[in-house]
Amino acid sequence: MTGELAGSLEARVVEARLRLDAWVREVVAWHFDPATGCPYWLERARELDFDPRKDVRGFADLARFGHFDDEALRGGPVRRWVPKGLADQPVFVFETGGTTGVPKARINVRDFEVDYEEFSGRLSDETFPRGSDWLMLGPTGPRRLRLAVEHLAQFRGGIAFHVDLDPRWVNKLVRDGRHQALEAYKEHVIDQGLTLLRAHDTIRCLFTTPKLLEALAAKIDLRRAGIRGIFCGGTEMNAQFHRFAREELVAGIDFVPTYGNTLMGLAHSPTWTEGDPYDIVYYPPQPRAVTELVDPDDPQREVGYDETGRVMLTTLTKEFFMPRLLERDEAERAEPVDAYPWDGVRNLRLLSSLESSVSVGVY
């Protein structure tokens, strides 16, 4: 960390780190306690050459677990992920996007609600008015977003209207190059969104993905339609999209970019004000999740601030423990800020080594 950080921020960074270490001890103690832990981790504990409850004293000690293999999340029995301490609670299961085969799944009890209640505190009451209704135009089905946005609306006193959207079908159309079918499906979704917007003038808040926002804004002036705030996420977006959204697509509407996934929860972006750069910086919901940026060739080495690294995610809740998963994304490491006194990620994108190779053939 540079010495330019204000003293108060520096103190908050230290405080956040101490809180994280304490939370790590609490979460590890919970997951590895035979009375409260889940079958998966209790079984894994027998293979470890250390005792997590004794030897993990802070976040740094999680390195002893190596890297979590998310293939473990495919297939059943899904109940091996349910902590005994929560066995009497209703359990949700949320799946990652996935296009083929068995999807990865994560169980939830209240994590998604907690994430979105915390996020609610970051929304402006002026542009996301309490008591107003929402349109949720994004992935539905077994994805957490569908219930999470509904919970956010309800938590703020509103009601969420929904349109069905199956991202796996979309991915299949994209993969098969069925552009016209993809367009027709998009139109189908957008038309339903427009119908809801026109029929319910209490809708002031919108959740949607970048692509659907483009398509929706091409059909209707969202400001005139009464939309005051847009919470946008579900897929990656870059600085250029952010600028385009603010300057042209939905000028005059509060635009809140976020990044979430089933395994991490919901990352926040600091409030943007006129003149700020359009770079999108996300801060994970620490201590419930931590993102680190590491050298892709040597994941033990954390990269420096503003350097590019591979995202390594650790999730730490009483419902789900996932240490040091190497994600398929890369980003630049961002310094802590007042609202989020821990590391963030800037300009998140697919790992460059995974981008499609040059196509073979003429042209």
Site mask for other proteins (CB under 8 A), range 30-59, x = bound: ------------------------------
The answer to whether 104 touches 151, Cβ cutoff 8 Å, is no
Of 64, 278, 302, 337, which one interacts with other proteins (CB under 8 A)?
278
CB of 185 to other proteins, least distance (A): 13
Q: Residue 37 and residue 318: Cα distance in Å, rounded?
A: 9
Q: What angle (nearest 5°) sits at the alpha carbon of residue 174, between those of residues 250 and 98?
A: 95
Site string for other proteins, 340-359 (x = CB under 8 A): ------------------xx
Tell the smallest beta-carbon distance from residue 363 to other proteins (Å). Answer: 4
Which residues from 246-275 bind other proteins, rule CB under 8 A? 248-249
For the bound state, the minimum distance from the C-beta of residue 74 to other proteins, rounded and expressed in Å, comes to 29
- Contact between 210 and other proteins per CB under 8 A: yes
Which part of the chain contacts other proteins (CB under 8 A), choosing from 13-21, 32-40, 112-120, 173-181?
A: 173-181
Q: 220, 197 in Cβ contact below 8 A?
A: yes
Whole-angstrom distance, CA of residue 44 vs CA of residue 204: 48
Minimum Å gap between C-beta 303 and other proteins is 21
Q: How far is CA 254 from CA 6, 38, 88, 112, 242, in A?
A: 29, 41, 41, 23, 12
Binding residue count for other proteins, defined by CB under 8 A: 26
Q: Which stretch binds other proteins (CB under 8 A): 22-30, 101-109, 190-198, 206-214?
A: 206-214
CA 198/CA 141 separation, integer angstroms: 24
The helix/strand/coil state of 163 is coil
Contact predicate 72/239, CB 8 Å: no
List the interface residues with other proteins, window 63-102 (CB under 8 A): none
User: Using an 8 Å Cβ cutoff, are 304 and 277 in contact?
Assistant: no
| 244 or 305: CB nearest other proteins | 244
3-class DSSP state of 256: strand
Binding residues for other proteins, rule: CB under 8 A, are: 177-180, 183, 210-211, 213-214, 217-218, 238-241, 243-244, 248-249, 278, 358-363
